[in-house]
Chain A
């Protein structure tokens, strides 16, 4: 089994068609959580200007891998966005119409 896998990876590696990871990983800069870096920055459901950076133009939450938030602050953002939606500061969904 393992031999099979080794063969496979070596084959694709040789072909050069699937070199996912290695190059990208070494080049990519690790994203820092904005809120961990700046203590003064607080997450508030009333702060529409801040929250808009964490929703897409469709009104959906931006995932952590894009926003760079740590788990703790992503949770706080998610709660804040949900609260902001309840008082019509943020949309639940933006339709193309």
Chain B
């Protein structure tokens, strides 16, 4: 394992840097698996002396180009404070995770006083980040609203797919 750097001569002691990491997960991933990846990243950040500021799940989005044979992906956004070297460790862990198809980190600010920043992340919000917002497509087709009205169970509820694509037995195939 590579030696983790803990700071740089450029940094003022006691101050940290603010980073954002976005990673894209395979679109067919289960909620449990999303939670596991998130927990892993959180663990790396907290073990590396960082402070998690914000976690957000953007839901499944269409990618602008194909990434690892996928045209859609689930976006996860992490904002955190840390020292130099923490990002390397976070990215290394993401690269080793099979369900992550792309990860990208950006430094937002240097010499941030950790006392001035408060974490928005609680266990509740963190767990919420494993369940995505409605899919872009679902919003476009109105399926998200239908789901909200009828719930996820199909019993007696309006079957969206059947309404749009027809029932299974009316095609020549």
A residues in contact (CB < 8 Å) with B? 45-46, 83, 85-92
Contacts of A92 in B (CB 8 A): 64-65
Q: Is the CB of B24 within 8 A of A87?
A: yes
A85 to B104, CA, bound (A): 11
Q: Is the CB of A88 within 8 A of B106?
A: no
B interface residues, how many (CB within 8 angstroms): 13
CB distance from A43 to the nearest CB of B (A): 13
Q: Would you call the interface of chain A mostly helix, strand, loop, or mixed? A: loop
A86 to B106, CA, bound (A): 11
A92 to B64, CA, bound (A): 8
A89 to B24, CA, bound (A): 11
Contacts of B24 in A (CB 8 A): 87-88
Residue ID in chain B nearest A85 by CB atoms: B64
Q: List 21 A-B contacts (CB under 8 A).
A: A45-B106, A46-B22, A46-B77, A85-B64, A86-B102, A87-B22, A87-B24, A87-B75, A87-B102, A87-B104, A88-B24, A88-B63, A88-B65, A88-B67, A88-B73, A88-B102, A89-B61, A89-B64, A90-B64, A91-B64, A91-B65
Contacts of A83 in B (CB 8 A): 104, 106
For the complex of A and B, list the 8 residue pairs with the smallest distance between their C-beta atoms, beginning with the closest. A88-B63, A91-B64, A87-B104, A86-B104, A88-B64, A87-B22, A90-B64, A88-B67
Contacts of B64 in A (CB 8 A): 85, 88-92
Contacts of A87 in B (CB 8 A): 22, 24, 75, 102, 104
A92 to B106, CA, bound (A): 19
Contacts of A86 in B (CB 8 A): 102, 104
A76 to B24, CA, bound (A): 24
A91 to B66, CA, bound (A): 10
CB distance from B86 to the nearest CB of A (A): 19
A85 to B24, CA, bound (A): 13
